[in-house]
């Protein structure tokens, strides 16, 4: 392998790892063969389609295309948060999820693209789309965990919240322990990633740059910047979410629904 090129034959050889997984689940009599095959095929087809779409956009770098891709990724991420909740969400809570993700991602991305990387033009798809994908993906995971923890907390600690309200606490004060727990749970995966990065594992973006021939030190600089952007974006989005989402559990008279 030279020049960072990966032939189709070399790519095909990597599917031996899927074959190993299929053998393991078959021997262990774990009924996952169909799911593994479908996941592998979907992953391959989806990434190939994305590759061709990105090639077209990179060769036709108009702001319209970049914004459309961004909105599609953000919308799909919001939809995934709804689906990952594991239970029906109220319309009011869905609106707050969408609002917090939209604001958090756009503010983080604008600062990162314009200030940290100083990308010119601002809509350059080679920078905006990959970085947006990483920030949106991690934000989606954080908000999903925040939604799950908030729902569980409001359900499990309903008596505690109602008692605090009867003693004169505001909805925010009564819900504060649940809000803090939701924020902490949502941020834990991101914090763990930072702790292990560079020692336990090398991030995918940095590894890809190095394999592609980039200077390792420069690749590390970019990875540090991106990881900080991901952390900031996730924290901003999650704190926006928990600070407005808890209100969906109370009525106009500050009573728990």
With a cut of 90, say whether residue 202 has pLDDT above it: no
Give tens-digit pLDDT for 39-79: 999 999 999 998 999 899 988 889 999 999 999 999 999 99
User: CA 46, CA 43: separation in Å to the nearest integer?
Assistant: 5
Contacts of 87 (CB under 8 A, 6+ apart): 151
User: CA 129, CA 226: separation in Å to the nearest integer?
Assistant: 13
What confidence score (pLDDT) does residue 132 get?
Answer: 93
Give yes or no for a contact between 85 and 140, defined as CB atoms under 8 angstroms apart: no
| Domain housing 219 | 61-249
In this structure, the answer to whether residues 185 and 87 fall within a common structural domain is yes
User: CA 241, CA 94: separation in Å to the nearest integer?
Assistant: 11
Give tens-digit pLDDT for 74-131: 999 999 999 988 888 999 999 999 999 999 999 999 999 999 999 989 999 988 998 9
Average pLDDT, rounded, for the chain = 89
Contacts of 120 (CB under 8 A, 6+ apart): none
In this structure, the answer to whether residues 144 and 160 fall within a common structural domain is yes
With a cut of 80, say whether residue 157 has pLDDT above it: yes
Q: pTM score, two decimals? A: 0.83
What confidence score (pLDDT) does residue 1 get?
Answer: 47
Structure tokens at 100: 């917090």
In this structure, the answer to whether residues 86 and 164 fall within a common structural domain is yes
Give 185's pLDDT tier (boundaries 50, 70, 90). very high
219 closest CA partner among 231, 204, 230: 204
In this structure, the answer to whether residues 77 and 37 fall within a common structural domain is no
The 3 state secondary structure assigned to 1-51 is CCCCCCCHHHHHHCCHHHHHHHHHHHHCCCCCHHHHHHHHHHHHHHHHHHH
Q: Any bridge partners for residue 197, and if so which?
A: 201
In this structure, the answer to whether residues 35 and 120 fall within a common structural domain is no
Give tens-digit pLDDT for 8-26: 898 899 999 999 999 999 9
User: CA 21, CA 15: separation in Å to the nearest integer?
Assistant: 10
Whether 254 is in a domain gets the answer: no
In this structure, the answer to whether residues 97 and 205 fall within a common structural domain is yes
In this structure, the answer to whether residues 70 and 189 fall within a common structural domain is yes
In this structure, the answer to whether residues 144 and 28 fall within a common structural domain is no
Whether 10 is in a domain gets the answer: yes
The dihedral region occupied by 29, where left means phi > 0, alpha psi between -120 and 50, and beta the remainder, is left
Structure tokens at 55: 């090639």
What confidence score (pLDDT) does residue 236 get?
Answer: 95
Give tens-digit pLDDT for 208-222: 777 777 788 888 888
Whether 97 is in a domain gets the answer: yes
Q: How many domains does the chain divide into?
A: 2
In this structure, the answer to whether residues 39 and 75 fall within a common structural domain is no
Structure tokens at 99: 């609002």
Neighbours of 76 (CB within 10 A): 12
Whether 256 is in a domain gets the answer: no
Calculate ∠ Cα 231-102-114, nearest 5°. 60
């Amino acid at each position: 392998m030279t020049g960072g090129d990966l032939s189709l034959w070399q790519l095909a050889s990597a599917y031996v790892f899927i074959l190993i997984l299929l053998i393991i689940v078959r021997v262990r009599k774990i009924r996952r063969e169909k799911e593994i095959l479908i996941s592998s095929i979907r992953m391959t087809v989806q990434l190939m389609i994305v590759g061709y779409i990105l090639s077209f956009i990179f060769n036709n770098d108009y702001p319209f295309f970049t914004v459309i891709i961004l909105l599609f990724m953000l919308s799909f991420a919001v939809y995934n948060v709804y689906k990952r909740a594991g239970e029906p969400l109220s319309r009011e809570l869905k609106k707050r999820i969408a609002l917090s993700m939209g604001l958090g991602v756009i503010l983080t991305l604008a600062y990162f693209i314009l200030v940290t990387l100083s990308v010119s033009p601002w809509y350059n798809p080679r920078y905006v789309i990959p970085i947006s994908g990483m920030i949106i993906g991690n934000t989606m995971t954080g908000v999903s965990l925040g939604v799950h923890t908030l729902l569980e907390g409001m359900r499990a600690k309903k008596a505690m919240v109602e008692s605090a309200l009867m003693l004169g606490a505001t909805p925010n004060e009564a819900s504060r322990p649940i809000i803090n727990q939701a924020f902490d749970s949502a941020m834990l995966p991101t914090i763990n990633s930072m702790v292990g990065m560079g020692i336990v594992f090398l991030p995918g973006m940095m590894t890809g740059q190095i394999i592609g021939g980039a200077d390792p030190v420069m690749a590390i600089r970019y990875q540090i910047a991106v990881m900080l952007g991901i952390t900031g974006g996730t924290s901003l989005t999650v704190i926006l979410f928990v600070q407005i989402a808890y209100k969906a559990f109370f009525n106009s008279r500050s009573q728990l629904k």
